[in-house]
Homo-oligomer: A and B are copies of this chain.
Amino acid sequence: MKTTATNLSIFRKAPVFQNLSDNDLIRIAEAAHLRKIQSGEFYFFQGDPAERIYLLLEGQLKMTQSSPDGQQVLMRVISAGMLFGAVALAQAEVYPVSAQAALDCSAVYWSKTELMEFVLQIPQLAMNTLRMMAEYVQEYQDRLRQSATERVERRLARALLRLASQSGRRVEEGVLIDLPLSRQDLAEMIGATLFTVSRFLSQWESHGLVVLGRERVIIRYPHGLVNIAEDLTP
């Protein structure tokens, strides 16, 4: 891909490319291929051969996993600057999740072999990738513990706070979670039903903690949610 100042600066901000030399960064950027998709479309589906690793430049993605009987779980939301499909690097045969655009997206990608070359040549890049994976492991461990030991209300509060810190945008009424996110999506993030999620949100809205809209949540008093998420005596 042609290296422009613009996308090089996005590269530089990506956690996975931290502390790389400009030289390396440019080489990597030049090997990248661009791919834009529209909201609702997919970069790849669960079960597709894992051949590319992507870096999201613009937009937001939902990474979901489905069970054989069609039940879905929303694993994470990817925002600009994040790598996705990185399991391909680790020789996984197929993607374990699907990557669907929640907004119009632009991303760059490398083939497995291309990026692996860089990883083998640039130790810092190997360390960064390793670090990213380790963070995921820790996050999933936390979520697993939470889903085993905590009830829906607390998990929901946590999920909203996490989303706000990752994709939040300051607006008049509070912090808007800046992607179309249905009750169903929220339910799939925390392992609950959309009904239960809707009930808690309504309750919180009536207490003034949040403002609701269709596929929209605005957090008015984050601290209220923190209380629900952390309080040891509910």
Contacts and interface: CB of A to CB of B under 8 A. Distances in A.
A206 B146 CA distance: 33
Interface string A129-166: 11101111110111111111110000000000000000
Contacts of A97: 141
B130 A90 contact: yes
Main secondary structure of the interface of A (DSSP, over half): helix
Contacts of A149: 67, 71, 73, 191
A87 B138 contact: yes
Given A67-B149, A130-B130, A141 B90 contact: no
Contacts of A120: 123, 126-127
Most B CB within 10 A of own CB, among A73, A87, A137, A188 = A137
A144 B75 contact: yes
B129 A130 contact: yes
